[in-house]
Amino acid sequence: MKQIKEYELIIIGGGPAGLGAALSAHQNGLKDILIVERDIFLGGILNQCIHNGFGLHYFGEELTGPEYSQRFIDQLEDTSIEVKLDTMAMNLENTEDYRFVHIMNMEEGYQILKAKAVILAMGCRERTRMQIQIPGTRASGIILAGQAQQYVNLEGLMIGKKVIVLGSGDVGLIMARRLTLEGAEVVACVEVMPHLGGLNRNYVQCLKDFDIPLYLSHTITNIRGQRRVEGVTVQEVDSNGKPIPGTEKDYDVDTVLLSVGLIPENELSSEAGVELDPRTSGPIVYENDETSSPGIFACGNVLHVHDLVDHVTEEAEAAGYAAACYVKDGGCVTENATRIELKPDSNITYTVPQHIRLEDIEKNVRIYFRVRQNYHDPVQVLVRDGNNNQIAKFKRPYMFPGEMENIRLPRQLLDRVVGNELTISVEE
């Protein structure tokens, strides 16, 4: 094994989160930065997202996925940031002073690298059929939407002629349009929930534009076919998600596209002892994106699933800044800082960060969260302390679970908090 090489900062993953974090750490004074990416390109999932709709918030214009990442890749050129492509981070070890990243690639083989700080930016992977359990045969032709996107957009392969989509998340909607444009017939999109999983604009531009029907409160209850999928049975479900007998409808299709969600990819994080939040499946972090392991930070889809890449970049820039502080001054962290837990009320699924250190908040702290149900009418987001005193109130004209929300809490207000917790709730 080669001698251990040392970096100030190693970033695992070269998607928008990794790129944003690297550039921000560099701007904040770090020189020895390495990005480890297992793919042969930088850009992460954006390489296969050839549709437009990226960057409206960050750049104020609508870009395609590849264009969005290209803007960051271009900025790398004028920096000392090193990139290792086609290189897998295999293992992450945490000690008091250093982090050790075990990597593997064809050219250099197995190597252990040493870093003062590490940023986790490994993104997500797709949920699989096993995780949602559809009965039926194990025929070929059942494919994950993101996998299909990779085949079609990066390799120019077609995946089927007659397709049904299960799940109405954005990836499924986008792929329904993409496959139609490439000549396939998409017979329907089926969603078990009573509401759309993805964004409205994707419903309009991907299904409605092409007259693809959407069946809400429906699911696939059987898949037929021996070698290749030959058809499916679709059934309506009741309010408990149970199929209603007598509502069966058969479709002859050769392909079932599954769009049933993403989960953060955190094997490396758990191995390093980073504590995970069961609500997000990502690391538990402080106000500066630092995990429970000092010196290890997280941002992007590995931390929680984002619907907009603009928020990924914003979060990544904050993580890069925090990692730079950590390397330069051993962290901007005050010793024995006042720790405040953020508690989502029952109508909120999670918050990121999960806790904050009061003294370390310079001006304000941004809190990302998601609501559990659709709110079509104006609502208030309320923040209360342990004594049930209202600390802050934010108005929103509407809120949907499919859209990540955020609020900014100013330090001034936080100084008034009594006790060690803050509850965040939504009221109509």
Partner 1 sequence: MKQEVICVICPRGCRLTVDPENDYKVTGNFCAKGVPYGKAELINPTRVVTSTVKIDGEKITRCPVKTDQAIPKKEIKNIMQEINQVNLNAPVKAGDIVIQNILNTDANLVVTRDID
The C-alpha atoms of residue 104 and residue 127 are separated, in whole angstroms, by 26
Query: Judged by CB, which is closer to partner 1: 208, or 393?
Result: 208
The C-alpha atoms of residue 149 and residue 416 are separated, in whole angstroms, by 49
Contact pick of 45, 142, 260, 399 for ligand FAD (by CB under 6 A): 45
Under the criterion CB under 8 A, does residue 140 sit at the interface with partner 1? no
Listed residue (61, 55, 62) closest to 20, CA to CA: 55
Contact pick of 158, 204, 413, 418 for partner 1 (by CB under 8 A): 204
Query: Judged by CB, which is closer to partner 1: 312, or 409?
Result: 312
The C-alpha atoms of residue 378 and residue 380 are separated, in whole angstroms, by 7
DSSP state of 333: P
Query: Judged by CB, which is closer to ligand FAD: 206, or 214?
Result: 206
Q: Contact, 152 vs 178, CB < 8 A?
A: yes
Map the footprint of ligand FAD across residues 178-237, applying CB under 6 A.
none
Q: How many C-beta atoms surround the C-beta of residue 381 within 10 A?
A: 21
Q: Are strands 185-191 and 82-84 parallel, antiparallel or unpaired?
A: unpaired
Map the footprint of partner 1 across residues 161-190, applying CB under 8 A.
181-182
Map the footprint of ligand FAD across residues 250-279, applying CB under 6 A.
265, 268
Binding partner of 285, given partner 1, ligand FAD, none, CB within 5-8 angstroms per partner class: none
Under the criterion CB under 8 A, does residue 60 sit at the interface with partner 1? no
Q: Which stretch binds ligand FAD (CB under 6 A): 26-34, 44-52, 75-83, 248-256?
A: 44-52
Q: Contact, 143 vs 257, CB < 8 A?
A: yes
For residue 34, CA distances in Å to 95, 101, 112, 268 come to 19, 11, 13, 17
The two structure tokens encoding residue 73: 């890749």
Binding partner of 170, given ligand FAD, partner 1, none, CB within 5-8 angstroms per partner class: ligand FAD
Under the criterion CB under 6 A, does residue 300 sit at the interface with ligand FAD? yes
Under the criterion CB under 8 A, does residue 51 sit at the interface with partner 1? yes
Binding partner of 325, given partner 1, ligand FAD, none, CB within 5-8 angstroms per partner class: none
- Tokens 């934010």 locate to 394
DSSP conformation letters of 234-296: EEEB-TTSPBPTT--EEE--SEEEE---EEE--HHHHHTT--EETTTTEE---TTSB-SSTTE
Shortest distance in whole angstroms from residue 66 CB to partner 1: 4
The C-alpha atoms of residue 423 and residue 343 are separated, in whole angstroms, by 5
Query: Judged by CB, which is closer to ligand FAD: 198, or 344?
Result: 198
Binding partner of 16, given partner 1, ligand FAD, none, CB within 5-8 angstroms per partner class: ligand FAD
Q: 30-41 burial, b if ≥16 CB within 10 A, otherwise e?
A: bebbbbbbbbee
The two structure tokens encoding residue 117: 């700080």
Binding partner of 149, given ligand FAD, partner 1, none, CB within 5-8 angstroms per partner class: ligand FAD
Shortest distance in whole angstroms from residue 175 CB to partner 1: 13
Residues within the interface to ligand FAD (CB under 6 A): 12-18, 36-39, 44-46, 49, 53-54, 88-89, 121-124, 146, 149, 170-171, 174, 265, 268, 300-302, 306, 308-310, 312
The residues binding partner 1 (CB under 8 A) are 40-41, 47, 50-52, 62, 64, 66-67, 70, 73, 152-156, 181-182, 199-201, 203-205, 208-209, 376, 397-398, 400, 402-403
